[in-house]
Amino acid sequence: MSTEAAASAMGRESAWRPSPAARLSGWRLATFLVAALILVPIGIVFSAFLSPASDVWDHLVATTLPRLLINTFWLVLGVGAGAALLGVTLAWLTAVCEFPGHRIFSWALLLPLAIPAYVTAFVVISLFDFTGPVQTWLRSILPPAWFWFPPVRGRLGVTLVMVLAFYPYVYLLARNAFMSQGKRTLEAAQSLRLNRVQGFFRVALPMARPWIASGAMLALMETLADFGTVAVFNYDTFTTAIYKAWFGLFSLPAASQLASLLVLIAFVLLLGEQQSRSRRRFAETRPGVRTERIRLQGHRRWLAFSLAALVLFAGFLLPLGQLLLWAAALVAQEFDKRYLEFLWHSLFLSATAALLTGATALMLAYASRLHQDTATRLAVRIATLGYALPGAVLAVGIFIPVIWLDNWLTGLARRFVDLETGWLVQGTLVAMLVAYVARFLAVGHGPIDSAMHRITRSIDEAARSLGVSGAAMLRRVHIPMLRGGLLTALALVFVDVMKEMPITLMMRPFGWETLAVRIFELTSEGEWERAALPAVTLVAAGLIPIILLLRPTDQGSKE
Amino acid sequence: MISNISARLLIALIGAIGCLSTAGAEEIVVYSARIEQLVKPLFDAYTQETGVKIKFVTDKEGVLLERLKAEGANTPADLLITVDAGNLWQAAREELLKPVPSATLAGNVPAHLRDPDNHWFGLSIRARTIFYNPQRVKPAELSTYADLADPRWRGRLCLRTSKKVYNQSLVAMMIAEQGEAKTEKIVKGWVANLATAPFPDDTKMLEAIAAGQCDVGIANTYYYGRLLEKRPELPLALFWADQQGRGVHINISGAGVIRYAKNEPGAVKLLEWLSSAKAQNLFADANLEFPVNPAVKPATAVAAWGDFKQDPLNVAKAGEFQAAAVKLMDRADYR
């Protein structure tokens, strides 16, 4: 009998036990409330089907849509597989193996998260396309007949850049899983006479599956919704059609209809992921019982080192280095004291949004632990769908109901207190933060929910038998055990909000410029190099939570 | 104690609401698709001159239009600024703008650079013309946009992506002037002549021409101006297209007063000021564009490119035919 089967036997017992009291539980109600809130913008997007846009559809089907779908398919497949492969490999190496620099790599490999994918994309094109220094140099030393370079602005280039930008999602989650599996899991595998390779594939990997899957889901959803990176490569995907319908053909209905297909795809993927996961239960051996790492020998050590170093170089050091060079040349012209204000706004928004999103995600994860019925599960899935929509489409979907609310409130104020209130909700930080939560709930939910699955249910029962339940149980029992997952969620959301553009642009109060807004303004007139200064600042600010929140968790469970 | 605190809170809240509603000094609210660096210096100058405060927010055109539509009669915005005529035309069609029958504006802005119904007005001219590598092309070989579809340019042409509104406007104007069938043939010819996949921006495309990846291309002049400021040694030259025919394709950066503007007189005054001689250089020169006001000379660097004949067709056509242009370019497989 495998460990997996043992784990699944352990978890199965408590499924499906709805009691009347549970049905009215506040956790469940709160989950439905969050789902309903997220359903508003998604409903607005879907409501576009009420306005026919068949001419746009006819046109797209007859011209670009087939190619876009093929492009999207390969991109999603490439990024999904690439990010999963790279993330899992690196996570295994840094979590379990010993090779030169493994301690530094274990947190340094998260750094690419801090660089927005569209920035890496532009740097890659600047360096490696025909006019870039690399090809220019090669042309100068090679005879023309020998000169060959793979096309940079193509499928390969965009896939590589997105793998480098998104693998940290998988890496971070998979590494958490491998670290918390504990040495005992591997020892159990060895006692079953599995060698290390078998131990990895038959025990460690299957046990880490919820983490890997939720990391890969984040990468996939981000790839599906991405517009900035593919635009830099001029690689047409499904989102390209969405923006073309909206900005080119002036048809927001058609754009929304296309976008709702993205939501459906994400929903199916999410359900599939959950379905495959819910057949098993994953319980945790006590964390932090690691004894010693697997010492890689001979050339394997250097192979591991080279892989980690290459990824770190290509995904972080190279783009950062180029940005620093550009920024240094322009810092005198571009820098002014307003940058401190941009920085402060970015930090404040990211931190607040991270806390709000983390708290909401924790609530969802706990509610779905307490209540395993279909309705709650569905509500949780719906609540995390905002991440699958292209940012600008979601931004409009949020903006419209906010305006409705405002119109209604100002109407009330006029009628009852004869007061001209102006906007009460729109253009406030509250509206903006709610929008961020709607967008990034999936990012916060993934790590927390996977960590929650790790806590064996016998702990809940033990707690209940001691008279601790509900919020007290969450606070006293679960939160301490979820620490890693919570910190991961906070850091991820922080960094993502920092990089976010469309919602920030549309919902920001007057004068609330952030670093991302600054990047938008410089790049929208093609001044990418001038955007290096805000980009570097943004990367530096994004590093704060990665270093602050994620580094100490390693040390806690080290040796 | 507690009631004291809550009373204070209530007063503070009422005070805050009061601040939202009462405008102390005169204020104008602007939604701008023209980026902060290019509008803020003007607004600062206007505030200094008149004491009127200007609040603004920047975003993409399409998003700003949706925002205005959603806000409807309650919008705080008084003025909309975009960087192309197509989106102004669309804003007028969605009834987001209000006609401004101003003699000052009619005098400062030539007729083909403003809405025939006065919903919007051009404030600077953006010319989109041909650029070439003088080491590989003689200017005598160049003539019109249409000529770049000729097979002798096979493998020698670079273009920016068709998803950029500047190219959509260019093709829209071609449709307006030459009809759809002829334009489609031209665009297909361009695509057949491409040396490499279309570029994401004009600057990268100009660099490719200078580096010899291709010989000719189409770009807005200010990208060329900016690039040469940084790297004057680049083998890159400007050619004014279509001078024997319709003239160079031009677009505008312009503005219109919001239909539900709270401060309509203020917005009109600001718009008139922006078209005036003293503001025009500030507006255009910040980005090496051309002033719309014929009485105003462009910046020295811009003037050095020489005089040229502009396409006299009203730029509103760029909006009217934009959707047709996008579809045509899709059919021609221009990515």
DSSP states of A300-343 as a string?
HHHHHHHHHHHHHIIIIIHHHHHHHHHHHHHHHHH--THHHHHH
**Residue A420 pLDDT level (bands cut at 50, 70, 90):** low
**Residue A555 pLDDT level (bands cut at 50, 70, 90):** very low
- pLDDT surpassing 60 at residue A261: yes
Radius of gyration of chain B (CA): 22
> Measured between beta carbons, which residues in chain B are less than 8 angstroms from residue A395?
63
What's phi and psi for A292, nearest 5 deg?
-135, 160
**The two structure tokens encoding residue A419:** 């007061």
What Å distances lie between residue A91 and A61, A265, A273, A307, A418, CA to CA? 42, 28, 21, 12, 62
What lies within 8 Å, CB to CB, of A548 at 6+ separation is none
Q: Quick check: A419 contacting B, CB < 8 Å? A: yes
User: Of the ranges A169-173, B10-14, B96-100, which one carries the lowest mean pLDDT score?
Assistant: B10-14
Instruction: Report the pLDDT value the prediction gives residue B271, as an integer from 0 to 100.
Output: 97
Instruction: Report the pLDDT value the prediction gives residue A270, as an integer from 0 to 100.
Output: 82
Q: Are A535 and A519 in contact (CB under 8 A)?
A: yes
Q: How far apart are CA B148 and CA B137, in angstroms?
A: 13
**Residue A205 pLDDT level (bands cut at 50, 70, 90):** confident
The verdict on a CB contact (< 8 Å) between A240 and B35 is no
Instruction: Report the pLDDT value the prediction gives residue A182, as an integer from 0 to 100.
Output: 63
Buried b (16+ CB within 10 A) or exposed e, A13-22: eeeeeeeeee
Whether B135 and B216 map to the same domain: the answer is yes
Whether B154 and B237 map to the same domain: the answer is yes
Among chain B residues, CA nearest to A401: B70
Does any domain span residue B199? Answer: yes
pLDDT tens for each residue of A158-190:
999 999 999 999 999 898 888 877 666 777 777
A 490-549 residues with CB < 8 A to B = 502, 505-506, 508, 510-511, 513, 517, 520-522, 524-528
pLDDT tens for each residue of B265-311:
999 999 999 999 999 999 999 999 999 999 999 999 999 999 999 99
Mutate to test the interface with B, among A61, A125, A247 (most CBs of B within 10 A): A247
Burial of residue B210, with CB atoms counted within 10 A of its CB: 0-12 exposed, 13-18 middle, 19 or more buried: buried
Using CB atoms, pick whichever of B35, B36, B326 lies closest to residue A249: B326
The verdict on a CB contact (< 8 Å) between B35 and A521 is yes
> Measured between beta carbons, which residues in chain A are less than 8 angstroms from residue B200?
125, 153, 231-234
Strand partners, B199: B160
Does any domain span residue B322? Answer: yes
Instruction: Report the pLDDT value the prediction gives residue B93, as an integer from 0 to 100.
Output: 96
Whether B99 and B245 map to the same domain: the answer is no
Whether B236 and B177 map to the same domain: the answer is yes
The verdict on a CB contact (< 8 Å) between B207 and A525 is no
Instruction: Report the pLDDT value the prediction gives residue A286, as an integer from 0 to 100.
Output: 54
A 354-383 residues with CB < 8 A to B = none
The verdict on a CB contact (< 8 Å) between A506 and B67 is yes
Q: How close does chain B come to A441, measured CA to CA in Å?
A: 23
Q: Are A10 and A456 in contact (CB under 8 A)?
A: yes
> Measured between beta carbons, which residues in chain B are less than 8 angstroms from residue A123?
none
Among chain A residues, CA nearest to B90: A250
Q: Quick check: A335 contacting B, CB < 8 Å? A: no
Residue at A198: amino acid letter: Q
Q: Hey, how many other C-beta atoms are within 10 angstroms of the C-beta on A401?
A: 17
Q: How far apart are CA A168 and CA A404, in angstroms?
A: 39
Q: How close does chain A come to B140, measured CA to CA in Å?
A: 27
> Measured between beta carbons, which residues in chain B are less than 8 angstroms from residue A151?
197
Q: How far apart are CA B333 and CA B335, in angstroms?
A: 6
Outline where DSSP puts E strands in B12-120. 27-32, 53-58, 79-82, 97-98
Mutate to test the interface with B, among A256, A525, A529 (most CBs of B within 10 A): A525
Does any domain span residue B178? Answer: yes
Whether B198 and B322 map to the same domain: the answer is yes
The verdict on a CB contact (< 8 Å) between B62 and A153 is no
Q: How close does chain B come to A408, measured CA to CA in Å?
A: 11
Q: Quick check: A395 contacting B, CB < 8 Å? A: yes
What lies within 8 Å, CB to CB, of A212 at 6+ separation is A84, A87, A88, A170, A173, A174, A177, A205
Buried b (16+ CB within 10 A) or exposed e, A241-271: bbbbbbbbbbbbbbbbbbbbebbebbbebbe
Q: What residue has token string 């607005």?
A: A44
pLDDT tens for each residue of A292-341:
788 888 889 999 999 999 999 999 999 999 999 999 988 887 788 889 99
The pTM assigned to this predicted structure is: 0.89
Q: How close does chain A come to B293, measured CA to CA in Å?
A: 23
**Residue B9 pLDDT level (bands cut at 50, 70, 90):** very low
What average pLDDT score do residues B57-86 get?
Answer: 94
Whether B131 and B211 map to the same domain: the answer is yes
> Measured between beta carbons, which residues in chain A are less than 8 angstroms from residue B199?
153, 234
Q: Hey, how many other C-beta atoms are within 10 angstroms of the C-beta on B103?
A: 8
Q: Quick check: A63 contacting B, CB < 8 Å? A: yes
Q: Which H or E run contains A142?
A: none
A 241-270 residues with CB < 8 A to B = 243-244, 246-250, 252
Using CB atoms, pick whichever of A248, A427, A526 lies closest to residue B326: A248
Find the farthest-apart pair of alpha carbons in chain A and give their distance in angstroms, rounded: 82
**Residue A198 pLDDT level (bands cut at 50, 70, 90):** confident
Instruction: Report the pLDDT value the prediction gives residue A291, as an integer from 0 to 100.
Output: 53
What lies within 8 Å, CB to CB, of A250 at 6+ separation is B62, B90, B322, B323
What's the domain count of chain B? 2
The verdict on a CB contact (< 8 Å) between A396 and B63 is yes
Residue at A477: amino acid letter: V
Mutate to test the interface with A, among B330, B331, B335 (most CBs of A within 10 A): B330
The verdict on a CB contact (< 8 Å) between A419 and B90 is no
The verdict on a CB contact (< 8 Å) between A151 and B197 is yes
Using CB atoms, pick whichever of A125, A244, A505 lies closest to residue B163: A244
> Measured between beta carbons, which residues in chain A are less than 8 angstroms from residue B210?
131
The verdict on a CB contact (< 8 Å) between B62 and A246 is yes
The verdict on a CB contact (< 8 Å) between A63 and B331 is yes
Mutate to test the interface with B, among A130, A512, A529 (most CBs of B within 10 A): A130
Strand partners, B129: B219
Q: What is the DSSP letter of A226?
A: -
Whether B132 and B111 map to the same domain: the answer is no
Q: What is the DSSP letter of B201?
A: S
Using CB atoms, pick whichever of A231, A403, A427 lies closest to residue B70: A403
Does any domain span residue B63? Answer: yes
User: Of the ranges A130-134, A287-291, B143-147, B315-319, which one carries the lowest mean pLDDT score?
Assistant: A287-291
The verdict on a CB contact (< 8 Å) between B90 and A406 is no
Of A432, A440, A366, give the one whose Cα is nearest residue A399.
A432
Q: Which H or E run contains B290?
A: strand B290-291
Whether B64 and B48 map to the same domain: the answer is yes
**Residue A203 pLDDT level (bands cut at 50, 70, 90):** confident
The verdict on a CB contact (< 8 Å) between B213 and A231 is no
Buried b (16+ CB within 10 A) or exposed e, A452-468: bbbbbbeebeebeeeeb
Q: What is the DSSP letter of B160?
A: B
Range of the domain at B49: 26-125+251-303
**Residue A31 pLDDT level (bands cut at 50, 70, 90):** very high
Q: Are A522 and A534 in contact (CB under 8 A)?
A: yes
Whether B229 and B270 map to the same domain: the answer is no
Q: What is the DSSP letter of A425?
A: S
Instruction: Report the pLDDT value the prediction gives residue A121, as an integer from 0 to 100.
Output: 96
**The two structure tokens encoding residue A363:** 């609530």
Q: Hey, how many other C-beta atoms are within 10 angstroms of the C-beta on A141?
A: 8
pLDDT tens for each residue of A62-76:
999 999 999 999 999
Q: How close does chain A come to B10, measured CA to CA in Å?
A: 15
The verdict on a CB contact (< 8 Å) between A525 and B35 is yes
Q: Are A186 and A204 in contact (CB under 8 A)?
A: yes
Instruction: Report the pLDDT value the prediction gives residue A290, as an integer from 0 to 100.
Output: 52
Q: Which CATH architecture has domain A21-556?
A: Orthogonal Bundle (1.10)
Instruction: Report the pLDDT value the prediction gives residue A409, as an integer from 0 to 100.
Output: 85
Mutate to test the interface with A, among B31, B53, B66, B75 (most CBs of A within 10 A): B66
Instruction: Report the pLDDT value the prediction gives residue B92, as an integer from 0 to 100.
Output: 97
What lies within 8 Å, CB to CB, of B166 at 6+ separation is B84, B126, B128, B160, B202, B220, B251
**Residue B1 pLDDT level (bands cut at 50, 70, 90):** very low
Q: How far apart are CA A176 and CA A174, in angstroms?
A: 5
> Measured between beta carbons, which residues in chain B are less than 8 angstroms from residue A47?
none
Does any domain span residue B4? Answer: no
The verdict on a CB contact (< 8 Å) between A248 and B35 is no
The domain locations on chain A are 21-556
- For CA atoms B144, B149, B153, B158, the dihedral sign is positive
Whether B133 and B175 map to the same domain: the answer is yes
B249 half-sphere exposure, CB direction, 13 A CA radius: 26
**The two structure tokens encoding residue A78:** 């490439």
Q: Are A277 and A76 in contact (CB under 8 A)?
A: no
User: Of the ranges A70-74, A456-460, B21-25, B104-108, which one carries the lowest mean pLDDT score?
Assistant: B21-25
The verdict on a CB contact (< 8 Å) between A505 and B58 is yes
The verdict on a CB contact (< 8 Å) between A395 and B203 is no
pLDDT tens for each residue of A479-494:
998 988 899 999 999 9
- pLDDT surpassing 50 at residue B137: yes
Q: How close does chain B come to A73, measured CA to CA in Å?
A: 18
Whether B140 and B239 map to the same domain: the answer is yes
The verdict on a CB contact (< 8 Å) between B58 and A400 is no
pLDDT tens for each residue of A108-145:
999 999 999 999 999 999 999 999 999 999 999 988 88
B43 half-sphere exposure, CB direction, 13 A CA radius: 22
Q: Quick check: A51 contacting B, CB < 8 Å? A: no
Instruction: Report the pLDDT value the prediction gives residue A184, as an integer from 0 to 100.
Output: 67
A 137-166 residues with CB < 8 A to B = 151, 153-154
Whether B180 and B322 map to the same domain: the answer is yes
Of B254, B328, B261, give the one whose Cα is nearest residue B291.
B254
